[in-house]
Amino acid sequence: MPNIHLRELPPATVEILKFSAEENGRSLNAELVNLLNEEADRLRRTLDFRANVRPHKLREAVDLEALIRADREDRAARAI
């Protein structure tokens, strides 16, 4: 498993991470791994969602007024 080295982390950030690790019964390293895994999963879901939504946005816009007008005209022609 690759290692990551963090530099220039603000002291306040380190303190809150240590507090969170202690509250969750984990080492600081385990807490960071957990937080990074959770964020990676969130990002993966976001990217999957965007990949599925983007093709729909590329579709040609539907003229709803024209569809409704055509439906009404068709119904009126059948009623006669």
In a domain, 37, yes or no: yes
Q: Has residue 74 been placed in a domain?
A: yes
pLDDT (tens digit, 9 = 90+) per residue, 22-39?
999 999 999 999 999 999
DSSP codes of every residue in 19-77? HHHHHTT--HHHHHHHHHHHHHHHHHHHHHHHHHHHHHHTSPPP-HHHHHHHHHHHHHH
User: Residues 40, 28, 8, CA angle at the centre, nearest 5°?
Assistant: 80
In a domain, 4, yes or no: no
Residue 34 lies in a domain: yes
Under the banding of pLDDT at 50, 70 and 90, the label for residue 57 is low
For residue 41, being part of any structural domain is answered with: yes
The answer to whether residue 2 sits within a structural domain is no
Count of structural domains within the chain? 1
The residue behind tokens 């946005």 is 57
Structure tokens at 20: 């969170």
Residue 52 has pLDDT above 80, yes or no: no
Asked whether residue 35 is assigned to any structural domain, the reply reads yes
Domain that holds residue 43: 11-79
